[in-house]
């Protein structure tokens, strides 16, 4: 479903070329200062415009239409909406029978029996992540003083990201990258032993972000080649601080107070400026398809803020869940 969270619960909706996209944030505590301006920094990070990003640039002006009164959250659901303005709606219907490789054209068409909106990817568009960012901005306010920081540490296999992007642009191709995320000032005790393990909740949200292919916490895939004597993080003081952080800040699903650290693999943008083979279901044969439209050479440039906000949403829910415990007894 398009909602997430047990206490801090968000719902998102919208299509790339639809009238409006938005997010409804339920379970938000009352009294948090919130205005449209608060969203601007994160929207700017997400927005296209630089080299290697799509020329479709939306102003992304959020409108808070409920849940805020006199500049503060009321405790009622906060609804944030965005009008779609730059929607060049040419004919996309051919995508229903001649699907773009790497996109959700085929799966969407099959799942929804051909009733899905194909314009610009419809509901599958990365544009819908604007709702995740909006909810994440609120989540980050709840989390304070916990901080979540995600950065692109590598693209196209190199840390010289600018060069990698230029090369991809020249080749009419696209590249992927690695995003690293660090959550600091984390209290001990978030998360649950099994199904709502901290890693489970974060990974659940991260894979809700389009283009993510993998996630690893702490030592991650390196753990597979380490020995226990190397991997175990030794506790060195009474705050629970550990000498190393192979655990990525989580033991038994529960935060241990050290930074939560994880890395996310982002695939190269599926839309590229070259013709590609794909099955034409009308002609019943494989045919070349050239995707015209506008697209990013490296979607990984724009994804860190979405990863960051997705993480903040998961943590806000965990932190609000945890706050009930100590009180009862």
Burial of 86 (0-12, 13-18, 19+ CB in 10 A): exposed
- Nearer Cβ to its own copies, position 55 or 240? 240
Q: Given the rule CB under 8 A, which of 37-45, 46-54, 238-246, 301-309 is the region that contacts its own copies?
A: 238-246
The residue from 215, 305, 312, 315 that contacts its own copies (CB under 8 A) is 215
**Beta carbon of residue 108, minimum distance to its own copies (angstroms, whole number):** 6
| Residue 134 vs 266, nearer CB to its own copies | 266
Provide the minimum distance between the beta carbon of 131 and its own copies in the complex, in angstroms, as a whole number. 9
Q: Is 65 in the site for its own copies (CB under 8 A)?
A: yes
Is the CB of 13 or the CB of 94 nearer to its own copies?
A: 13
Count of residues interacting with its own copies (CB under 8 A):
157
Interface segment toward its own copies; rule CB under 8 A; list 36-44, 47-55, 66-74, 301-309: 66-74
Nearer to its own copies, 39 or 217 (CB): 217
Residues 6+ apart with CB under 8 A from 292: none
Span 159-178, contacts to its own copies by CB under 8 A: 168, 171, 173-178
Residue with tokens 């779609």: 84
Q: For its own copies, what does the binding mask look like between residues 271 and 290, x meaning CB under 8 A?
A: xx-x-xxxx-x--x-x----
* Least Å from the CB of residue 107 to its own copies: 4
Residue 276 dihedral angles phi and psi, to the nearest 5°: -130, 150
* 62 forms part of the interface with its own copies (CB under 8 A): no
Q: How far is the CB of 281 from its own copies (least distance, A)?
A: 6
Contact between 149 and 186 (Cβ < 8 Å): no
Is residue 306 within 8 Å of residue 48, measured between CB atoms?
no
Closer to its own copies at the Cβ: 43 or 215? 215
- Stretch in the footprint of its own copies (CB under 8 A) among 41-49, 50-58, 122-130, 301-309: 122-130
Contacts of 25-28 with C-beta under 8 Å, sequence gap 24+, read: 25/67, 25/77, 25/78, 25/79, 25/80, 25/134, 25/135, 25/138, 26/77, 27/320, 28/67, 28/73, 28/75, 28/77, 28/78, 28/138, 28/142
Options 41-49, 53-61, 202-210, 301-309: segment touching its own copies (CB under 8 A) = 202-210
**Contacting its own copies within 251-270 (CB under 8 A):** 251-257, 265-270
- The residue assigned the tokens 């190199």 is 158
Query: Stretches 36-44, 52-60, 211-219, 301-309: which one binds its own copies (CB under 8 A)?
Result: 211-219
Q: How far is the CB of 40 from its own copies (least distance, A)?
A: 19
Contacting residues for 19 by C-beta, under 8 A, at least 6 apart:
83, 84
Residues 1-40 that bind its own copies (CB under 8 A): 1-4, 6-7, 9, 11-15, 18-22, 24, 26-27, 29-32
For its own copies, the binding residue among 117, 120, 308, 312 (CB under 8 A) is 117
**Strands 3-4 vs 9-13: parallel, antiparallel or unpaired:** antiparallel
User: Which of 111, 160, 163, 293 is close enough to bind its own copies by CB under 8 A?
Assistant: 111
Cα distances (Å, whole numbers) of residue 299 to 16, 38, 51, 88, 152:
16, 24, 11, 20, 11
Could you say which residues in the range 37-56 bind its own copies, by CB under 8 A?
none
Q: Are 54 and 48 in contact (CB under 8 A)?
A: yes
Residue 279 three-state SS: strand
Phi first, then psi, for residue 5 (nearest 5°) are 115, 145
Calpha distance 121→15 (Å, rounded): 8
| Closest among 297, 305, 314, 310 to 60, alpha carbons compared | 305
């Amino acid at each position: 479903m398009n909602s997430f969270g047990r206490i801090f619960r968000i719902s998102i909706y919208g299509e790339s070329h639809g009238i409006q996209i938005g997010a409804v944030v339920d379970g938000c505590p009352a009294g948090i200062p919130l205005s449209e301006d608060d969203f601007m920094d994160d929207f700017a990070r997400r927005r296209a415009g630089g080299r290697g990003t799509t020329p479709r640039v939306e102003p992304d002006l959020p409108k808070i239409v409920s849940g805020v009164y006199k500049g503060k959250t009321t405790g009622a659901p906060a609804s944030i909406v965005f009008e779609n303005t730059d929607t060049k709606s040419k004919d996309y219907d051919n995508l229903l029978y001649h699907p773009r490789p790497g996109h959700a054209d085929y799966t969407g068409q099959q799942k929804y029996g051909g009733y899905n909106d194909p314009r610009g990817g419809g509901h599958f568009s990365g544009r819908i992540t604007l709702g995740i960012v909006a909810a994440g901005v609120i989540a980050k306010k709840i989390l304070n003083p916990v901080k979540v920081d995600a950065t692109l540490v590598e693209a196209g296999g190199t840390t010289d990201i600018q060069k990698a992007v230029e090369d991809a642009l020249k080749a009419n191709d696209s590249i992927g990258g690695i995003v690293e995320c660090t959550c600091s000032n984390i209290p001990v005790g978030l998360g649950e032993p099994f199904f709502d393990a901290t890693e489970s909740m974060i990974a659940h949200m991260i894979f809700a972000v389009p283009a993510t292919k993998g996630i690893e916490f702490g030592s991650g895939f390196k753990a597979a080649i380490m020995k226990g004597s190397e991997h175990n993080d030794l506790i060195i003081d009474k705050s629970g601080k550990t000498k190393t952080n192979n655990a990525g800040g989580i033991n038994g699903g529960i935060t241990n107070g050290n930074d939560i650290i994880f890395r996310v693999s982002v695939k190269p943008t599926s839309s590229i400026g070259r013709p590609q083979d794909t099955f034409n279901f009308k002609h019943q044969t494989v045919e070349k398809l050239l995707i015209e439209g506008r697209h990013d050479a490296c979607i990984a440039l724009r994804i860190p803020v979405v990863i960051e906000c997705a993480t903040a949403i998961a943590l806000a829910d965990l932190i609000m869940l945890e706050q009930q415990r100590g009180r009862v007894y």
